[in-house]
Amino acid sequence: MCGIVGVVSKSPVNQFIYDSLLLLQHRGQDAAGIATTDGQSFYMHKGNGMVRDVFRTRNMRDLPGHVGIGQVRYPTAGSSSAAQAQPFYVNAPYGIVLAHNGNLTNWEQLKDEMFRIDRRHINTTSDSEVLLNVLAHELQQSSLEGLSVPSLFEAVRGVHRRLRGSYAIVSIISGFGLLAFRDPNGIRPLCIGRFEGPNGTEWMVASESVALEGMGFAFERDVKPGEAIFISNDGELTSQQCAEATSMHPCIFELVYLARPDSVLDGVAVYDARLRMGDYLAEKIRREIDYKDIDVVMPIPDSSRPAAMQVAKRLGLNYREGFFKNRYVGRTFIMPGQAMRKKSVRQKLNAMRVEFKDKNVLIVDDSIVRGTTSQEIVQMARDAGARKVIFASAAPPVKFPNVYGIDMPTRSELVAHDRSDEEVARIIGADELIYQDVEDMKAAVRDINPALSDFDASCFDGNYITGDITPEYLNRLEQQRKAPKAPVERDSGDNGDGGEGDENEPRGAQLGL
């Protein structure tokens, strides 16, 4: 899960993309990057850290041009490296920069093919660099008679034939325009916005509608699964379906946790979806436990607040805000490394004793993944004087690895894998535990957009829509995750003052922080 944005404007886009990435910061806090073009050259700056930490005034001055892309990165392997920061650049054919949200499930096979067949070298372990080189190769093959919009779409068709997994892409072809596309299953979100200014039409492509609206763009539509969007440097938009077979299976975990509540994804208002999940959760609580002795319902801020409010309303219980959130600590779920997540929980949340003392408390969270955060929260409630702690999850138990771009790839890390609800309750220290049902979670979203018949809910139901995930694949992934990692090499630019950048990067690239 990352946040991506692409803009074709009539004015400089550097500040514009910076502000857009701030609106998408919740999607990734590990690294950030911006690439722009003036029609002749690419200019790029990227590095580890939050948007506000990566970019300084001197960096912004080095990003001229009216077309640009940006990304905030979330590490799907639980670790980070400056070399993995995006966008990525390749100089042939034509010159391409690319940013990717998602995860390729066949990237290792493709990397091998790139070397043996396509004669291309991949310099990192990033699947996004593999994807960029696949696109570059396909574009080289499709444009033998010259670069054109049809040759771009033909290249995307070739990309779809070769890739497996999830991907939403923004890229720039030097001197030509912006190319964006979405995987044939529509797993990761991507939408288009339009702005009619005094100088003509401007376009923006982004992971979430909140980025469009926050920058004054009118939401135009979602990019369809398998569809490619090309916007010329002059602002002319062309689109074409480039996949042979498509289906709409958006990631339901986006609606549970990842997306901002004020976004709309594939016709579903995220906030409304979380309210409906609370309605269904309340009915399950009504069926399964004696809830009348519960004194208060409390959310874990912020993403579980809508569900908790609906639970309290449906059950006729008091709603209280018992946990105070320190907004200057990042989202613990997407922090790299288990030790950092655990340490950050108590820095992030504080339990107000007056709301807990001598009360039976129903705590509602959006989901339970590893159980570390839930365990800390339950203990905080008890330390604050709670008499009884009931824990409810607005999402079903996460029992299976996610291979499409969310950092939960190994079964051993998932507290619900091969455990009953009672066993999980004991591990996190709750008196009782209630999970949302999978079908109720899906029904909550369908209530808002009936056109969505199914979803990628693989981490909940074990159904991998791409059809290439086998037990052997998951075993191999788990072994790779457990293997000791080599130390990250830092170049002389990693000294906090901006290095000179790699000689193979576009002008203006600064890989150091």
The predicted pLDDT at position 485 comes to 53
Class of the domain covering 274-329+342-445: alpha beta
pTM of the shown model: 0.90
- What token pair was written down for 206? 């982004």
Work out the percent of the chain whose per-residue pLDDT is above 90: 80
Residue numbers belonging to the annotated binding site for Mg(2+) = 303, 365-366
The predicted pLDDT at position 492 comes to 30
The residues facing 182 across adjacent strands are 168
The predicted pLDDT at position 83 comes to 80
What distances in angstroms separate CA 321 from CA 172, 353, 379, one per listed residue? Answer: 46, 11, 17
CA dihedral 468, 471, 475, 478 (to 10 degrees): 70
Residue 330: pLDDT band (50, 70, 90) is low
Domain ranges within the chain, ordered by starting residue: 2-247, 274-329+342-445
**302 C-beta neighbours (distance < 10 Å), count:** 14
Higher pLDDT, 6 or 118: 6
Residue 81: pLDDT band (50, 70, 90) is confident
Instruction: Check for a shared fold between 2-247 and 274-329+342-445.
Output: no
CB-CB contact of 354 with 330 (8 Å): no
- Tell me the mean pLDDT in the region 148-165: 98
Can you give 15-33 as a three-state secondary structure string? HHHHHHHHHCHHHCCCEEE
Sign of CA dihedral 129, 130, 133, 138: negative
- pLDDT per residue as tens digits for the range 410-423: 888 899 999 999 99
Is 10 in a helix, a strand, or coil?
coil
The predicted pLDDT at position 512 comes to 28
How many CA atoms lie less than 13 Å away from 421 in the CB half-sphere?
Answer: 14
- Tell me the mean pLDDT in the region 202-223: 98
The residues facing 165 across adjacent strands are 104
Class of the domain covering 2-247: alpha beta
| H-assigned helices in 437-508 | 438-446, 458-461, 471-482
Residue 153, Cα to own-chain centre: how many angstroms? 25
Q: Which of 2, 191, 242, 251 is catalytic?
A: 2
Active-site residue, 2 included: yes
Residue 326: pLDDT band (50, 70, 90) is confident
